[in-house]
Chain A
Amino acid sequence: MTGDVFVVIGAGQAGIQVCNSLRNSGFCGQLILVGDEDILPYQRPPLSKSFLLGDVDEQRLFFRPQSHFDKQSIEPLLGTKVIAIDRSAKRVRLEGGRTLNYTKLALTTGTRVRELDCEGAANNAQVHYIRSLNDSIALRNKLAEVERVAIIGGGFVGLEVAAVTRKLGKAVTVYEAEDRLMGRVVSPMLSEFYSDLHRENDVSLCLGERIDKVEVSNNTVQIYTNKQQSLDCDIIVAGIGAIANDEIALEAGLKCDRGIIVDNRCLTSDPNIVAAGDCTVHFNQFAGKTVRLESVQNAVDQAKIAASTMLGGESVYDQVPWFWSDQYDAKLQIAGINTDYDKYLTAGRVGDTRFSIFYFKDDRLIGADSINDPSCHMAVRKIMSTKSVSVSQIQENLSDLKSFAKQ
């Protein structure tokens, strides 16, 4: 494959994984990793957790040092935006006019934050988001100066930030437009558990409240909601979701639907272009529908398949989805996608420091949420990757899921 040029657009978790997998599989052509941030690829999960808290310094976030890129002949083209893809010429146009010809192209463009669109939110320096390292550094620095933090969005990011800011001793209010926390990804029982957890930690929770307006006067931010409430705070952190960066794909005529559509080999509608990670939508066998997953697991596993496909392999993406979130002393690990369950079963008591909830649909296990129960989480991942199991099978084997997983 000498003479081939593989270009990877997007230097996040999926982008670096595509590069590493290509080299590990023996690809010896030219390999260029284009990233719009001007630093080497780094991990994003700690940005709303340990890094924000100040437990981890910047240097420890990088996936690999410069020497790795040198040794593996991966050319990072950083601080560089891609303007367009010319599919017929198999060429990528970069900001500033430079072009790159490619034999195969990988799109790992990730997402960007959804911005608050209420009155007073745009270009408001008191409104923070967390997507990039710089975002997290800016927020971390700001947190050192303020006392009252309003968090908009009761999803993973918002609640992780709530936990961190409480640990830092700030007064914290969380606004969630839906009537429960993390409603898109967890069951009502688990939402309840997290409401209790945050309230126990003195977070003021405002559920079912949408933000109508924010105003800043004399360094105080005032928030007005649909319930006619108002709150004074020092800063706002908004974690209200992300938008797939699919514009260059869309403009190049690739099939997109709020994300770049890929098949089970991570191929887009162009046979020379693959895509992986948060920017993609795919039919997920575990969800039983087309989804866009925002997770390390999806980024890493799709990237491996995308690399294989670039090299002419036939591997398909069939990994069990998993997610995690750290809030206070509760480690949540989610296996599978369990939003459509019709029955559930618990191991341990919901509300204890350690428990799991198994979810079923049509008498088949579709996932489990575990709180501080990693062995259960790992067993469920293993079980779901190898077999289809019923409610009674889980019930019968509850005392020793590990052995059952190995059968």
Chain B
Amino acid sequence: MKEIIKTESLTKHYGKVRAVDGISLSVGKGEIYGFLGLNGAGKTTTIRCLLGMVRPTKGNAYLNGKKVTAGNHKLWNDVGYLVEIPYSYPDLTVRENLEIIRRLRFISDPVAVETVIEKLQLGLYQDRKARNLSQGNAQRLGIAKAIMHNPGILLLDEPANGLDPAGIVEIRQLLCDLAFNKGVTVFISSHILGEISRFATRIGIIHEGRLVQESDADQLDKFRKRYLQVNTFNNNGARSKLLEKGFNVDITTNGLLEITGDEVIAHPDIVSALLVNTGYPPTLLKIEEEDLESYFLRTIGMTGGAK
């Protein structure tokens, strides 16, 4: 697959702070690459490097096979972007803000503004000044500016910020349509794995400036921890018996037993039989899968937000 977005050991230091530290990734045509990380992980700096807004300390970024530099402005013909919270000229209306972008992107057809207003459902607000928009509509305006020229590459920094659930679904569908039907390559950052895993084809997790994991989205299940959840009338006693038999058992915060291990997941009946035979018959026995949030936090070496 043709590499549309590529970074090679991309590094950006601000003094002693390593905002981005040797990131190498590539995104093929028509892929949606979910770039996941906590606030301050280096997502925005990476996107700024991809957009030529900051110069990498080391390494390079490429779009459509061409090296990204601030002076290579022809590169941006095929790129739409949204960096952090989108802001627009407060004294100008939605339509006027889009008109400015239309001119700066050399779009000769004035209907492009109408089309994107319709696509982002901004019709009701088109004559409203940007200063009077809600956060959600300001976000829609930012996305409209990014897609108005029908770019082949979209670099979006947390585009779902401020959108209501309906808006999130709508943007997700829009991006899926662009990627899967029109071949647009989408690089999208987020800090919510649950949201990004719904539509990304590939996921990279960044933490403290480093790419700590990269995988196809449909492989996520393979990495997620599975465990057997058990409840009995005496969980402390049951745990002692299970530990004696060499099982790996924890008691969760809600008092349930959590047993991990490939054999347990494959044959939960062994645990069940043992508990019955030792006088601790289970009242609950089910295989659970680690949720995406826990998986994400575990991947970056954190639990519950604390290291």
Say if A and B assemble together. Answer: no
- Interface of B with A (CB < 8 Å)? none
